[in-house]
Amino acid sequence: MNESPVNDYDGIIADGSIRSGKTVSMSLSFVIWAQTSFTGENFIMSGKTIGSFRRNVIGPLKRMLVGRGYSYEDKRSENLLEISKDGITNYYYVFGGKDEASQDLVQGITAAGAFFDEVGLMPESFVNQATARCSVDGSKFWFNCNPEGPDHWFKKNWIDKAEEKNVLYLHFTMKDNLSLSERIRLRYEHQYSGVFYKRYIEGLWVLAEGLLFPYLAEEPSKYIYTEGEWAFSKLVMGIDFGGNGSKTTFVLTGYMNGYKEFKVLEEYGLPLTSTIGSEEICNAFIAFYRLAIEKYGRVDWIFPDSASTTMINSLRAVAIKNGLNARNIKGCRKNEIKDRPRFVDMLLTSGRLKFSAECTDVLKALSSLVWDEKKKDIPEDKNINNCNDWYDAFCYTFLDFIEFIDLRR
């Protein structure tokens, strides 16, 4: 603000732990600054996707604005928020910065400021294009994010160069969020371990190295469930077709209590030989499908690797031939590869993911996965002991539902 002792900065960065209040405080402050500094100007607001930005930012922001005497018009077809107060109206255009092509979307606009929510998940090209559009005198950049690796482009080019770029840097922890009770704060702290704890709880930009899930290797029995009777809300099969020296794997996972608890129920892998073909894969699929129905009464969804469209069609054809449901077979809707380890770690450390004692290969795979030293933040893909095949098949059982799974529990 004009009366602020730091009003000569060109922007502000807020990083740190999850649930620390960064998004709430930054989004509201961005609008208050814009409305008191300009009139009739355009502003850029962005998240990784427009959908996530609407859910995480715009929804809460609308409620805060109304409570402070602002009015707004949400033009969803244009991805535009018109915000007004005391005769002053400004225009806030919403963009998604999910990949390199996103930079094309923001070209052409002239803006008086830009707000980036979770900037660490965006490509540098998009951020560079958006900041380049802020040519109105007095325009400023607003960034918030959770930490990634120390070699991340935003850490190296913005946080490490904050003084050079004339940007104010603030570090948040969960203790800065006064709406969190001590009980809830401790619950979040117990949901992460290792590199994820350092990043998402301590808010540190640290390197991912060594085993992904070291605690699985140290105490595997802790993650094995005892036998019992359960009511499953979803039964989902994941299939990785392998290839190039790896093997086809099948995993069945049961969802309990909606999308809150998970049990890895069954696994099956074809022998690793060069003679395995589509017919053998289809036969194994039918056998595994029938086993699941015999033991659990149904299979709700089957998600093979979406890259293998020919094999997916073959599975549908053989399912129909054998009188099984083929409409529930579709290629898995994959998300970012680097998002999966954090999600699995959260389920494991919170006690929401357990394995059958019979699923020794899946447990061994997750216990053996190591971080890739070159690509950073993704598992190494050497596929020793087929651990990547088992890991992928397991991941396919939940990737299509990841946005519905309640991680707040």
Q: The tokens of 172 are what?
A: 């948040």
Report the pLDDT value the prediction gives residue 192, as an integer from 0 to 100. Answer: 85
Predicted confidence at residue 103, as pLDDT, reads: 84
Domains of the chain from N-terminus onward = 11-200 (3.40.50.300), 214-401 (3.30.420.280)
Q: Please give the pLDDT value at position 272.
A: 66
Rounded to 10 deg, the angle between the 22-37 and 59-67 helix axes is 50
Alpha-carbon distance 306 to 382, whole Å?
A: 21
> How far is the CA of 19 from the CAs of 22, 23, 57, 134, in angstroms?
8, 9, 13, 29
Question: How high is the pLDDT of residue 260?
Answer: 87
Q: Where are the alpha helices (DSSP H) in 201-358?
A: 214-218, 278-296, 309-321, 339-349
For residues 124 and 153, what is the distance between their CA atoms, to the nearest angstrom?
7
| Residue 406: per-residue pLDDT | 66
Instruction: Check residue 116 and give its pLDDT.
Output: 97
Q: What is the mean pLDDT of each run of 10 residues along the chain (409 residues)?
A: 93 95 96 97 95 93 96 95 97 92 87 96 94 96 94 95 96 92 89 88 89 88 87 94 79 91 93 72 94 95 92 94 94 83 90 93 90 81 74 92 69
Distance CA 409, CA 390 (A): 27
The predicted structure's pLDDT at residue 229 = 80
Is 352 in a helix, a strand, or coil? coil
Closest CA to 288 of 331, 324, 259: 324
pLDDT at 80: 95
Given this model, what pLDDT does residue 275 score?
A: 60
DSSP state at residue 365: H
Cβ atoms within 10 Å, residue 146: 21
pLDDT given at position 250: 96
Residue 247's pLDDT is what? 81
Q: Are strands 88-96 and 80-85 parallel, antiparallel or unpaired?
A: antiparallel
Euclidean distance between CA atoms 229 and 262, whole angstroms: 14
Confidence at residue 377, expressed as pLDDT on a 0 to 100 scale: 81
